[in-house]
Structure formats: C-alpha cells, structure tokens
Structure 1
Amino acid sequence: MNKGTDIPIDMAYLQQIMLELFAIPCPTGFTDRVVYYVCNKLQELGISYDLTRRGTIRAHLKGAEQRPDRAIVTHLDTIGAMLREVKANGRLSITPIGHWSSRFAEGARVTIFSDNHSYRGTVLPLLAAGHAFNEAIDSQPINWDQVEVRIDEHIRSAADVYKLGMDVGDFIAFDPNPELLDNGYIVSRHLDNKAGTAALLAALKAVLEYKIPLAIDCHPIFTLTEEVGSGVGHALDEMVTEFVGVDIAPVAPGQNSTEFGVTIALKDSSGPFDYHLSRHLIGLCKENNIPYQRDVFRFYYSDALSAVQAGHDIRHSLITFGTDATHGYERTHLSALESVAKLLVAYMESGPALDSDKVDAAPMEEFAKQLKPENMPKKNTSVPDINSL
C-alpha cells in the first residue's frame, strides 16, 4: 500500500481552483489568460515548468529514477464559438469551436471578444419570439445555421456592429454558470476540463504538502487544443513512456460511468488504451480503496490520441470523472473529483507499469505476461498451447 493512501485531498482548494477557472473564458484558440493563471498556481506550489511557443505548460517533478518517466495530461481549452457572419440586421451567425450541438447553445449568455473590447449577448434560435412565431418555433431545425447572437448594444444593422469593433473571426465564450450544491453536486458548463484540471492541481498540492516520494520523474502537462484534436502531440519529452490523460466520462444510457468514484476508460473512438497501464491504474484503485468503475467510450477522443498519432512510443491510458450531459449542461459530483485526485497521487507514487520500459527495446519475455496462466482458457487440443510457442 502506498504512503499516499490516507493522504487527504484539500477539497476546499480543489473547489476554489475550479471556480477560479470557471471565471476565465478559454475556448480553444483564446487560452492565454488561463495559461497565465495555471502558471501562477504552479509557482505557488513551487513546481517548475516550461512553456511551448503556443503556451502548452510542461511541469516537472523529480522522482527516484529518471527513466522511464511519465506524463499526466489535462487540457485547459473549452468548447465555444467564433463569429462567422455579421448579418444585415446586426445579429451574428456563429460557428462552433470544438464538437458540440447547437441545441446546448440556445439560450446561453456569451461574451464576444473583439480585438479591443468585449461585449455581452445571448444565443437565440432564429425563431425566438413565441408571440410572433407560435408553433413554428417547435418545428425549427437544430443546427448552427439556426441560431444567432443578439448583442446587448444599440444595434440595428451590420454597420453598427462594425462600428463597435466586432468582426468575423472574433471569439465567443459561453458563460459557465457554475453551481455547487450542498449535497456535493457541481453543475456547470466547461467541467470539461476545468474540473479535471482542478483535480490535478489538488493532487499535486497533496504530493508536495505531504512529501509523497515519486518513483519516477513525472511531467504534469496542460494542453490548449484538445477540443479540436491536436492536443499534446508536440509536447512530450522523448523519455516519457507512460501517458495518463485526465478528462470527463459520459454518464448516459449504455455507459458504465457514474458521477461517483473514478472511471478508468479502456477504449475510446481511436481504439483500446494500453492494457498494462490501464490494469496498473485499476490495481492502484483496488490497493488504495479508491471507488472506481471501468467503461468504454463510443464517441470520444482525447489528448492521448494526438500523442500516439504524433509517433510517440508510449503506453496511454485515461482517468476520468463521470459527467452527465457532456458538452452540454454538465454535472458531476465532488466525490468523483476527489477519487480522481487520490488516484493521481497513488499513480505518481507508484513505479512504472512495466519495469522493462526502462530500456528502449522491450525484451520478448514481457509479451508473455498479458494473460496469467490461471486466466488462460482451458486447453483445446485442436490449437497450439500458447505457453508452448
């Protein structure tokens, strides 16, 4: 059992970080301010880091051994929108940033960021007045061409919009409207992945505050373009052999995720996660009495895919917190975030999933370990015995 088994997570810190992150608009491409915030938090914790040209944060924690080392990755960017067209009547057509439905944009309060100022507005369906359109509202299609932004300024034409400095390509951020309930539920837009980022920072605080020894070097990484798919591919050190992402899990019919405990993802739309690293994480949950469940995600990509597609020879896995109505009006429970943070502490303390990862070329013997003898199917005399090959 790890030293960090009974180490408490500072949940007041986690909640405060999460609320402060909610207050920072950061759709993909408009993330400088949140990068600056997280850098300050790392400095407060005494964690060294460096920045890529575009602002991905690579932090550094020393372990007992330098090779292999691991990366724990969360993303700072959120879904949002961009101004696509200024209509003749002064309303704004928008295009989504990230993959999400306009159904969840309707009625949202937003901020439009021009080059020199910001303005407030509301996303409305084209047929927004019940007293004018009556039942036609109910038959209006659902897509991004069927919504528009009404700006809260004295605007009657496109010229009025341009005079205020707004133009095509301006970023539009959606208000999170967070609500933390006494029963532990958190309801907000952008739990993906501000809640995951808060859980990672709380885990780092626990590791440092309680002097948890790390078995190997660890690199917490904060990425900026996960919602559009490019993610972390450029930001991994060549010594990294293990990659663990931190993100949301969909709570919905047909899924095994819940809003409690931690969910270990074993597959997403790109295919299975690494067998050995995923079982290593499951083993840590069992060893440390961290409530967990396993799940596979049907319509889901994460930063792990961008790392593999970039050609990194890594083991990859995904730690998640169950979230109802992902990319919509999201909800999770504080206990899920606490479980995520506890698992991250245990993972940072643990040794590598496979000791053979210390060398570049894996020995053949490692590939006889995926199934233990007691888990092998009963012998069938019509096929060769795998143990005899």
Structure 2
Amino acid sequence: MTLLNIDIQYLSETLEGLLKIPSPTGYTDEIVRHVSKKLEALGVFYEVTRRGAVRARISGRSRRPARAFVSHLDTLGAQVKALKENGRLELVPIGHWSARFAEGARTTVFSENGAYTGTILPLKASGHTYNEGIDNLPIGWNYVELRVDAYSKSTDDLHRLGIDVGDFVAIDPAPEFLENGFIVSRHLDNKAGVAVMLAALKAMTESDIEPNVDIFWLFTIAEETGHGAQSILTPDIASMVAIDNGTTAPGQNSDEFGVTIAMADQTGPFDFHLTRKMVQLCRENDIKFQKDVFRYYRSDAASAIEAGADVRTALITFGVDASHGYERIHMHALRSLAELATGYALSPVEIQRDAREFAGLTGFTHQPREDADQHLNPETEEPEPEPEPEAEPVDE
C-alpha cells in the first residue's frame, strides 16, 4: 500500500502542546480536555469515561473484528507525603522513577489555594555548607525534599499557603526541539505516543480512505501506575497496538530512529501474529525497524491482558534514551510510527475468525512447527497447499 503523508509540523506542534499541560497520574483532567478538543478539530467521534479515559473511533466497513491503538496521557510525578518542620515538603513518587532524576527538577505544586512553583533538592544541597557530604548522601526519595517558591520556613507557613498532604506535584518537562530532529524533554513517555496517534488520525481523516473495520484510538490516564487499558476496551476490539517508548541502552536493540517492535516485555511475549504483521508492514513499506525485548517494562497492553481481555496485543515504540529521566527521542521515529499506524489501520484483515469471541477451529491460526516446513498464507493464515508432484516420465 502507499503510505499516508504524515504532517510533521502538526506532529511536532501537537507534542509541544501536550508537554505544556501537567498530567501526573491522578491529575489528568486538563490534558483529557485538550486531547478531546484535538479530536473535535479533526472531526473524529469520541467519548470519555467517568474518570477521563478517551475512546475515539473511525468507522470502517465492518464493526468486527475492530482494531485499536492505545497511548497514555498520564506521566510520572509526585505527591506530598509530609509537611516538614523546616517549611519544605517530603515527597513520594507517582509511577516508578528514581530520585536521581528528581534532584534539581523544577516543579509545580497544586494546592487548595492555587499553584506554587518549587525545586526538588537533596537534603544536603549546598557544597559551601556540607562539602563532601553532598557526594556521600544516598540516592532515594527519603533523601530529597521540595523547596516551595513562597515564604515557607515552618509547617504553619505551609498550612497558610494551603499546601497539604496528598497535593499533586508536576515535574516541569523543560522541552527542547532541536533543528536536527532530536527532542529532549521529560514526559516524552508517553506524550510522544499520543502525538503520534493524533498525527496518524489526521492523515487518515484527510485521506478519505475507509478502513475495512472500525479503528479505535484509546487514550488512557493511569498507565504509569499499572492500570492502563483495563476498562476502555469494547467486545468488538480483537487486536490492540500500544504505542509507547522503547528503551535505548546498552544491552537493548532499540533505536532512536525507525520503529522498535517489542517482541516481549516483563509480562511475556506479545501476540505472535499481530507482531509478525507489524514486521511485515515495515518490510513492505520500507519503514526502518528493529526488534527488542524489554525485561523491566510494561505497557497499556499488559494491563488489558492481566484484566482478562481476550485481545491480541502488540507494542510498537519510539526509541528513548534515558527513559523516565531526561529523555531524548528523534522525529524520525515518531514519523515512522505514524506511518506504520496508518498502514496497519488500512491493511486487510487476515484473521476473519477474530470477529467472533468464540468459534470452532475453522479459520483458527497456525504457527510454524518444528517438525515441518510449514509456510503460512498471510491472506488466510492457513497452510499453503503443497505443490503437485511432477509426473513420472512415461516410456514410449
């Protein structure tokens, strides 16, 4: 198929707009509103759950077996654990991230009386005071505190500011969009994935090509705390592709360029057939790709499977350097992902049996066997017929 044109400027501006909106898990109302308005501008139908997950849909020729993409709107952050006698705040993290990356971060604290900026500092923050004690201080959330940018030298001062236990703390992203295509920021996980989905949606709405089946676009609000896509799927959805970050680091095969296709994460392998289709689409459309396995990673797809959803899952990623820290990605990967998403959305449905939740073996898939050279027909997922044997020569 011919790849749809991805509007790179729209993708970049969309990501920049998403990064400006604080959205630690549990504090996502405003980014939900923002994404909903983006969907309205594209003319895409959507609905919002009670808590704020967004489910958009592009109608296809058939309702089933529907396909879905999923990214999460929530990011890492922190909450106030305690008000300290010195007028500073003890914190606990939202999501799993190291206090190593919290030290020095600029923040916004959302209190009952309004928002206050601040800085996360180690307990020993002045070299002029502590000398080598700074370097000897352990790393951990018990060894940092939040200094609020307001008059605050005691617990009473904090109370007067309206700050209390449980208040949300957003970590400033400090984004940089470089001319060479690199993007450096916090929270690229997974606002970059959201921007990819919106850019792919824009390309599809402008193409006027009707997909074969309904395509759902899911935006979740609690992936960083493990909930993800547990409650947003519909029975019509047979396959779901998560778009999230891949970890570029020593010992990993991910890359900041092209698409990194995850073969497995800490919850186990992704669906054999759906993952193979992602690879096939990349090869057919000359999209740079590589495969990887993530040992300490889970995504929206994992939460759906653990919740009992009988849905095929795959994970396609943009390579991120220093994930859950000061992250870096490249626009090449984002464009490649958006292209792959449109390619999958418009591709034929091979496994027609997936339209039913239960059925017999007719149309059920095959996987290559060790004891046979079995070639599968990708159009039907059935074994290709064996070639007819050549006729024996006949003596005249």
Q: After TM superposition, is the score higher than 0.5?
A: yes
Question: For the residues of structure 1 that align with 2:130 and 2:231, how far apart are their CA atoms?
Answer: 51
Q: Which residue of 1 aligns with 2:373?
A: 374
Q: Which residue of 2 aligns with 1:14?
A: 11
Task: Using the TM superposition, give the Cα deviation of residue 72 of structure 1 relative to its aligned residue in structure 2, in angstroms.
Answer: 0.7
Q: Which residue of 2 aligns with 1:269?
A: 266
Task: Using the TM superposition, give the Cα deviation of residue 353 of structure 1 relative to its aligned residue in structure 2, in angstroms.
Answer: 4.9
Moved over 6 A (4+): none
2:70 is the counterpart of 1:73: yes
Question: For the residues of structure 2 that align with 1:207 and 1:345, how far apart are their CA atoms?
Answer: 7
2:162 is the counterpart of 1:165: yes
Question: Residues 121 and 150 of structure 1 are in contact (CA less than 8 Å); yes or no, is this contact kept in structure 2?
Answer: yes
- Residue of 230, 247, 251 corresponding to 1:250: 247
Question: Residues 324 and 331 of structure 1 are in contact (CA less than 8 Å); yes or no, is this contact kept in structure 2?
Answer: yes
Question: For the residues of structure 1 that align with 2:365 and 2:86, how far apart are their CA atoms?
Answer: 68
Q: Which residue of 2 aligns with 1:25?
A: 22
Q: Mapping of 1:72-111 within 5 angstroms?
A: 72-111=69-108
Q: Which residue of 2 aligns with 1:383?
A: none
Deviation by residue 1:270-320 (Cα, 9 ceiling, x = unmatched): 000000000011111111111111110010011111111221111011111
Q: Mapping of 1:1-389 within 5 angstroms?
A: 2=1, 5-364=2-361, 369-371=366-368, 373-374=372-373
Question: For the residues of structure 2 that align with 1:12 and 1:112, how far apart are their CA atoms?
Answer: 32
Q: Look up the equivalent residue of 2:102 and give its one-letter code.
A: A
Question: For the residues of structure 2 that align with 1:340 and 1:252, how far apart are their CA atoms?
Answer: 20
Task: Using the TM superposition, give the Cα deviation of residue 367 of structure 1 relative to its aligned residue in structure 2, in angstroms.
Answer: 5.5
Q: Look up the equivalent residue of 2:209 and give its one-letter code.
A: I
Q: Report the TM-score, using the length of structure 2 for normalisation.
A: 0.92
Task: Using the TM superposition, give the Cα deviation of residue 222 of structure 1 relative to its aligned residue in structure 2, in angstroms.
Answer: 0.3
Question: Residues 356 and 363 of structure 1 are in contact (CA less than 8 Å); yes or no, is this contact kept in structure 2?
Answer: no
Amino-acid identity (%): 51
Task: Using the TM superposition, give the Cα deviation of residue 28 of structure 1 relative to its aligned residue in structure 2, in angstroms.
Answer: 0.1
Q: Report the TM-score, using the length of structure 1 for normalisation.
A: 0.94
Gaps of 5+ in 1: 377-389
Higher relative helix content? 1
Question: Residues 280 and 353 of structure 1 are in contact (CA less than 8 Å); yes or no, is this contact kept in structure 2?
Answer: no
SS in 1 for 2:131: helix
Q: Which residue of 1 aligns with 2:384?
A: none
Question: Residues 277 and 353 of structure 1 are in contact (CA less than 8 Å); yes or no, is this contact kept in structure 2?
Answer: no
Task: Using the TM superposition, give the Cα deviation of residue 351 of structure 1 relative to its aligned residue in structure 2, in angstroms.
Answer: 2.5
Q: Which residue of 2 aligns with 1:382?
A: none
Deviation by residue 1:247-274 (Cα, 9 ceiling, x = unmatched): 0000001110000001111100000000
Gaps of 5+ in 2: 376-396
Deviation by residue 1:96-140 (Cα, 9 ceiling, x = unmatched): 000010000000000000023000100000010000101111111
Deviation by residue 1:61-97 (Cα, 9 ceiling, x = unmatched): 1111111101110000000000001100101000000
SS in 1 for 2:156: helix
- Decide which structure has the larger Cα Rg and report it: 2
Task: Using the TM superposition, give the Cα deviation of residue 365 of structure 1 relative to its aligned residue in structure 2, in angstroms.
Answer: 5.5
Question: Residues 276 and 353 of structure 1 are in contact (CA less than 8 Å); yes or no, is this contact kept in structure 2?
Answer: no
Question: Residues 78 and 227 of structure 1 are in contact (CA less than 8 Å); yes or no, is this contact kept in structure 2?
Answer: yes
Question: For the residues of structure 2 that align with 1:360 and 1:71, how far apart are their CA atoms?
Answer: 16
Question: For the residues of structure 1 that align with 2:260 and 2:158, how far apart are their CA atoms?
Answer: 46
Deviation by residue 1:302-343 (Cα, 9 ceiling, x = unmatched): 111111122111101111100000000000100000000000
Please, what is the CA RMSD of the aligned residues?
1.3
Q: Which moved more, 1:43-52 or 1:351-360?
A: 351-360
Task: Using the TM superposition, give the Cα deviation of residue 368 of structure 1 relative to its aligned residue in structure 2, in angstroms.
Answer: 6.2
Task: Using the TM superposition, give the Cα deviation of residue 364 of structure 1 relative to its aligned residue in structure 2, in angstroms.
Answer: 2.7
Question: For the residues of structure 1 that align with 2:349 and 2:4, how far apart are their CA atoms?
Answer: 21
Question: For the residues of structure 2 that align with 1:324 and 1:362, how far apart are their CA atoms?
Answer: 44
Question: For the residues of structure 2 that align with 1:31 and 1:199, how far apart are their CA atoms?
Answer: 19
Question: Residues 75 and 226 of structure 1 are in contact (CA less than 8 Å); yes or no, is this contact kept in structure 2?
Answer: yes
